[in-house]
Amino acid sequence: MAAAGEPHSSLYDTIVVGAGIQGSFTAYHLAKRGRDTLLLEQFPLPHSRGSSHGQSRIIRHAYAQEHYTQMMAESYGLWEQLEAEAGAPLYRQTGLLVLAANTNPEFQRFCQTLAQHHIPSELFTAESLRGRFPGIRPYCGEAGVSDRTAGVLYADRALRAVQDGFRRCGGALRDSEQVTDIQPGVVVTVTTSGGVYQAKSLVITAGPWANKLLAPLGLLLPLQTLRINVCYWKEKVPGAYGVSAHFPCFLAICDPHHIYGLPSNEYPGLVKICYHSGSPADPEERDRPPEASGLPDIQVLQDFVSKYLPGLVPEPAVVEHCMYTNTPDEDFVLDRHPKFSNIVIGAGFSGHGFKLAPVVGKLLCQLSVGEEPSYTMEPFGIRRFPALPPAAL
Ligand SMILES: Cc1cc2nc3c(=O)[nH]c(=O)nc-3n(C[C@H](O)[C@H](O)[C@H](O)COP(=O)(O)OP(=O)(O)OC[C@H]3O[C@@H](n4cnc5c(N)ncnc54)[C@H](O)[C@@H]3O)c2cc1C
Ligand SMILES: O=C(O)[C@@H]1CCCC=N1
171 and 304, same domain (yes or no): no
Instruction: Decide if the complex's ipTM is over 0.90.
Output: yes
Of the candidates 385, 380, 383, 384, the one whose C-alpha atom is nearest the C-alpha of residue 333 is: 380
234 and 260, same domain (yes or no): yes
The proportion of the chain whose per-residue pLDDT surpasses 70, expressed as a percent, equals 95
33 and 118, same domain (yes or no): no
Number of domains in the chain: 2
pLDDT in tens, 158-193: 999 999 999 999 999 999 999 999 999 999 999 999
Residue 56 lies in a domain: no
Check which CATH number belongs to the domain holding 212 and give it: 3.50.50.60
Average pLDDT of the residues in 53-81? 98
169 and 119, same domain (yes or no): no
| Residues forming a β-bridge with 143 | 100, 125
Residue 241 lies in a domain: yes
361 and 343, same domain (yes or no): yes
Average pLDDT of the residues in 250-263? 95
216 and 266, same domain (yes or no): no
On whether the CB atoms of residues 93 and 151 are closer than 8 A, the answer is yes
Question: Is residue 276 within 6 Å of ligand 2 at its C-beta?
Answer: yes
300 and 232, same domain (yes or no): yes
Specify the higher pLDDT residue, 202 or 6. 202
Q: What pLDDT, on the 0 to 100 scale, is given for residue 288?
A: 75
Residue 207 CA to ligand 1 centre (angstroms): 5
Q: What pLDDT, on the 0 to 100 scale, is given for residue 1?
A: 44
pLDDT in tens, 230-244: 999 999 999 999 999
- Backbone conformation region of residue 293, classed left if phi is above 0, alpha if psi is from -120 to 50, else beta: beta
Residue 63 lies in a domain: no
Confidence band, pLDDT 50/70/90 cuts, at residue 295 = low
Q: Whose CA is nearest to atom 8 of ligand 2?
A: 352
Question: Is residue 352 within 6 Å of ligand 2 at its C-beta?
Answer: yes
161 and 300, same domain (yes or no): no
Residue 392 lies in a domain: no
Q: What pLDDT, on the 0 to 100 scale, is given for residue 292?
A: 60
Cis peptide before 134 (omega within 30 of 0): no
Domain housing 339? 12-51+156-221+329-384
Q: What pLDDT, on the 0 to 100 scale, is given for residue 175?
A: 98
3-state secondary structure the chain: CCCCCCCCCCCEEEEEECCCHHHHHHHHHHHHCCCCEEEECCCCCCCCCCCCCCCEEEECCCCCCHHHHHHHHHHHHHHHHHHHHHCCCCEEECCEEEEEECCCHHHHHHHHHHHHCCCCCCEEEHHHHHHHCCCCCCCCCEEEEEECCCEEEEHHHHHHHHHHHHHHCCCEEECCCCEEEEECCCCEEEEECCCEEEEEEEEECCHHHHHHHHHHHCCCCCCEEEEEEEEEEEECCCCCCECCCCCCEEEECCCCCCEEEECECCCCCEEEEEECCCEECCHHHCCCCCCCCCCHHHHHHHHHHHHHCCCEEEEEEEEEEEEEEECCCCCCEEEECCCCCCEEEEECCCCCCCCCHHHHHHHHHHHHHCCCCCCCCHHHCHHHCCCCCHHHC
Distance in angstroms (rounded) separating the CA atoms of residues 44 and 63: 35
Question: Is residue 57 within 6 Å of ligand 1 at its C-beta?
Answer: yes
166 and 119, same domain (yes or no): no
pLDDT in tens, 204-225: 999 999 999 999 999 999 999 9
The answer, yes or no, to whether residue 79 has pLDDT greater than 80, is: yes
**Atom of ligand 2 at shortest range from CA of 354:** 1
Confidence band, pLDDT 50/70/90 cuts, at residue 8 = low
Residue 316 CA to ligand 1 centre (angstroms): 24
Using CB atoms within 10 A of its CB, is residue 17 exposed (0-12), middle (13-18) or buried (19+)?
Answer: buried
130 and 245, same domain (yes or no): yes
Confidence band, pLDDT 50/70/90 cuts, at residue 391 = very low
Residue finishing a domain among 306, 326, 346: 326
Residue 6 lies in a domain: no
282 and 238, same domain (yes or no): yes
DSSP code string of 54-86: SSEEEE-S--SSHHHHHHHHHHHHHHHHHHHHH
Of the candidates 330, 320, 331, the one whose C-alpha atom is nearest the C-alpha of residue 273 is: 320
Residue finishing a domain among 326, 344, 373: 326
pLDDT in tens, 328-374: 999 999 999 999 999 999 999 999 999 999 999 999 999 999 999 99
**Atom of ligand 2 at shortest range from CA of 96:** 3
303 and 250, same domain (yes or no): yes
Confidence band, pLDDT 50/70/90 cuts, at residue 296 = confident
Residue type, 88: A
Pocket test of ligand 2: the residue of 21, 22, 56, 58 to mutate, having most ligand atoms within 8 Å of its CB, is 58
Residue 369 lies in a domain: yes
Check which CATH number belongs to the domain holding 136 and give it: 3.30.9.10
Residue finishing a domain among 326, 346, 371: 326
Distance in angstroms (rounded) separating the CA atoms of residues 219 and 199: 21
Nearest 5°: the CA angle 230, 231, 232 is 130
Residue 147 lies in a domain: yes
Residue 144 lies in a domain: yes
Range from 126-140, 141-155, 358-372 carrying the lowest mean pLDDT: 126-140
Distance in angstroms (rounded) separating the CA atoms of residues 270 and 239: 9
The proportion of the chain whose per-residue pLDDT surpasses 90, expressed as a percent, equals 90
* Residues sharing a CB contact under 8 Å with residue 357, sequence separation 6 or more, in sequence order: 21, 22, 24, 25, 75, 162
Q: What pLDDT, on the 0 to 100 scale, is given for residue 287?
A: 77
Q: What pTM did the predictor assign?
A: 0.96
Q: What pLDDT, on the 0 to 100 scale, is given for residue 249?
A: 98
